[in-house]
Amino acid sequence: MKNFTERLGITGHLTIIKKHKNGKEEILLDDHNVIVSGMGVGLSYLFTASGSDTITDYQIDRFQLGASGNTALEVSTTSYLSGALGPLQYGEDSNLYIKQNTQINGPNDVLLRTFAMIPANKMTKIGDASVRYTLVVDEEACNNLVGQHGEDEYLREIGLFMGNPRGNVVDASILVAYRAFSEIRKTSDFSLIFRWTLNF
């Protein structure tokens, strides 16, 4: 049986580009993503008028990176990144605007998580029913990640989030799209561009 978002025909595509300081670009991934059940939850709040009464709360306006994702999470029931980065891991000198707020992880379950906000000028309508998000992880962001025991950590997953579909006083965001990818050891020698297109 198809889930709610499959019945609506929502799909997505992610391209990950490694951009070197000399301007040379290398495509690391160019493939589909998984639209997760959180998209259906967020839209159900909207369609039934049971969530926020502010339309901008339904906007997909933030993302997370993680260091322990795997393809086993590429299923519609995934509700969180398995290795979501903390605030310091995004980099203090980065151009990313970082925000901490709760994340919905079930009907009554919320987690405190760190998000990178997507500027309005990085959201582009590219057709009647398609939006492209250009997520730039600059040269100063997410560099030389280290695990709890001093081991090197690698970027391995990314997720898009709807801002606050319940209309809570403090944002409670929900995962709407997810993708695991081959490990990337991020350094200051390059930036990463995640070009993510959602088709509604």
pLDDT, one tens digit per residue, over 164-186 is 999 999 999 999 999 999 999 99
**Is 10 among the domain residues?**
no
Domain membership flag for residue 127: yes
Whether 107 maps to a domain, the answer reads yes
Host H or E run for residue 124: strand 123-127
88 closest CA partner among 67, 62, 118, 114:
114
- Examine residue 87 and state whether it is found in any structural domain, yes or no: yes
Percent of the chain with pLDDT over 90: 85
Domain presence at residue 7: no
For the stretch 25-67, pLDDT in tens is 999 999 999 999 999 999 999 999 999 999 999 999 999 999 9
pTM assigned to the model: 0.93
Least confident interval from 54-63, 68-77, 150-159:
68-77
pLDDT at 6: 58
In a domain, 14, yes or no: no
> Is 3 within the bounds of a domain?
no
**Neighbour tally for 139: CB within 10 Å:** 20
128 assigned to some structural domain: yes
Is-contact 158 78, C-beta < 8 A? no
What is the number of structural domains in the chain? 1
Residue labelled with tokens 């200051």: 188
Question: Domain containing 185: what range?
Answer: 26-199
